[in-house]
Amino acid sequence: MPGTDGLSQKRASRQRKTGDPTPLQLSEALDGEPRATEDDFMLDDDGTTSPNRSHSTTIRRANLVSPPRAGASQISPIPQRRTGGQIPRPEQPTASLPTSLPNKPYPRGSITRQQVLPPNIFKGKVHWLLPLGIGMIAMLVLWELGSFTLAWGLARYDDIRYGNPRTYQTNAVVGHGNDSPLHPTHFIAINLNRQAIVVEFPAGNPSGAQSYVVPYYILGQGGDLTPITLEFRDVTGDGKPDMIIHIHLQTQDQTFVFVNDGNKFRPPTSKDNIHL
């Protein structure tokens, strides 16, 4: 057969190149079982023959188990592939990876306090104006606190004495309604919405009550809490007691005079000669 003759000739030429003295037998070529060649022996590292392969060009790869990582003293377990006519090279051990340097603690003993903290440049250089300024600020704060405390205390005292709204009451003999020391005239002074109002009860009789209003408002801070008091004395020189209204502001006292005409009080005029 032509195909069989060609196959036998190829195998005979291959044996002559490799130096095999055994001649190729025709009976072996006609046999249907394929024989292992020298290349198959070389691919096997243990010297054993591999299983029979079919006439195919497909390359089959075996699943190799990945070897463990080679350390500084280990050698890769996979041998290098040997080909015909080559001497296997000695396997080189893999180079070990450089190890990291250990973290050494920083020597704290070598650092002194003078190196960590800067020197105090203000040491021994305090100007005399500094304590003076601090003292003045402290005095100002104490003054403000004292003023606030005093105002608060006076306001609480007026609440107890005059109430809210500020109210003042007194009795006096002024010659109205046949009053007498046994039946004096009763007066009530009140600071109602920053306006001073006085109510008179002649001889203590409510039926003849009269009211007098100061013709201006009490201005300033705390004007609605300003106490009002009354004083009776002759300021015009006619021998009749006049009514003097005292408005006690925080900074000063204001006065207003009502002149006594014998039956009631009236506002002063330009003809009245008033001597307080």
List the CATH number of the domain containing 214: 2.40.128
> Per the domain annotation, does 88 fall within a domain?
no
Name the H helices within the chain: 2-18, 26-30, 38-43, 113-116, 129-162
87 inside domain:
no
Residue where a domain terminates, one of 101, 136, 162: 162
Residue 86 forms part of a structural domain: no
pLDDT at 126: 78
Task: Quickly tell me which residue has 């306090």 as its tokens.
Answer: 113
Judgement on whether residues 155 and 212 belong to the same structural domain of the protein = no
Domain count across the chain = 3
For every one of its 276 residues, what pLDDT tens digit does the chain have, with 9 covering 90 and above?
554 555 555 555 555 555 545 554 544 444 555 555 555 555 555 444 445 555 556 566 555 555 555 554 555 556 556 555 555 565 555 555 555 555 655 555 555 555 556 666 656 677 889 889 999 999 999 999 999 999 899 889 999 999 999 999 999 999 998 999 999 999 999 999 999 999 999 999 999 999 999 999 998 888 899 999 999 999 999 999 999 999 998 888 899 999 999 899 999 999 889 888
213 and 141 within one domain:
no
For residues 189 and 250, membership in a common domain is answered with yes
Report how far residue 163's alpha carbon sits from residue 222's, in angstroms, rounded to the nearest whole number.
14
Query: Is residue 38 situated within a structural domain?
Result: yes
**Are residues 187 and 148 part of one domain?**
no
- Is residue 203 within 8 A of residue 183, CB to CB? The reply is yes
Residue 230 and residue 204 share a domain: yes
Residue 89 lies in a domain: no
Domain of residue 136 covers 128-162
62 located within any domain: no
Tokens at 153, concatenated: 């205390």
211 is a domain residue: yes
In a domain, 144, yes or no: yes
Nearest-angstrom CA–CA distance, 192 and 165: 6
Same domain, 156 and 249: no
Q: In the listed set 107, 142, 162, which residue is the last one of a domain according to the structure? A: 162
Q: Is the same domain home to 190 and 220? A: yes
Residue 191 and residue 212 in one domain: yes
Whether residue 157 is found in the same domain as residue 171: no
Do 262 and 170 fall within a single domain? yes
Residues 47/41, Cβ–Cβ less than 8 Å:
yes
